[in-house]
Structure 1
Amino acid sequence: MILELADIRIQPGKQAEFEAAIQKGVKEVIHLAKGYVSHKVHHGIESPERYVLTIVWETLENHTVDFRESPAFQQWRAIVGPFFAVPPTVEHFNLVTESA
């Protein structure tokens, strides 16, 4: 399993609209993607324009190739992209340890 972490900064004052959009995008686009396992969206307390989206994929290629190179990625960006203040920073992680 691969963890994708997207650090998202949105335009000020757009939190409610962005939260509706990201929920729609995950439900209608990402949830259907090959290799999608689960996701979480966290909203910043100290930085209210900051969100952290984590998605668990079966493989790295499920995100970087199967999703990112598909028309679904353009659908996703059309839903959430208008709220971005800057392009998100995206990184991938392997699990080292976890609690029981």
Structure 2
Amino acid sequence: MILEHAWLTVIEGREAEFESAMAKAFAIIESAPGCHGAEVRRVVESLNYVLIVKWDSVKAHMEGFRTSPLFEEWRAATHHFYSEKPYVIHYSEPIAR
């Protein structure tokens, strides 16, 4: 399982609207094949947010979800709140302890 982190910069003054929209948008992304849950956290030191999604693989995210009609629904529900394009990065399984 991998983690997707998407850094989201929300238009100033639209934070409450964004948070309300995200509460509804979780159903979209979490219904995607290969998705094992999502959450959004607000950055304490700024007006930014981070979206954290658990995926089976990068392929499940980039070739499955991102090319599906579900992604278009997700974009319609969330992307008009961003002041810039989200920065997306994927993380591997945790290293051994």
Asked if these proteins are the same fold (TM beyond 0.5), I'd say: yes
2:3 aligned with 1:3: yes
Mark the runs of 5 or more structure 2 residues left unpaired by the alignment.
Answer: none
Distance 1:79 1:55 in 2: 17
Question: Residue 46 of structure 1 aligns with which residue?
Answer: 45
Q: How many residues align?
A: 97
Q: SS at 2:40's partner residue?
A: strand
Q: What TM-score does the superposition give when structure 1 sets the normalisation length?
A: 0.91
Letter in 2 for 1:43: R
Q: Report the Cα distance in structure 1 between the residues aligned to 2:58 and 2:19, rounded to whole angstroms.
A: 26
4+ residue runs over 6 A deviation: none
Counterparts of 1:56 and 1:36 in 2: how far apart (Å)?
A: 6
Provide the TM-score with structure 2 as the length reference: 0.93
Offset at residue 98 of structure 1 (A): 7.5
Unpaired runs of 5+ residues, structure 1, are none
CA gap 1:79/1:98 in 2 versus in 1, 3 angstroms: farther
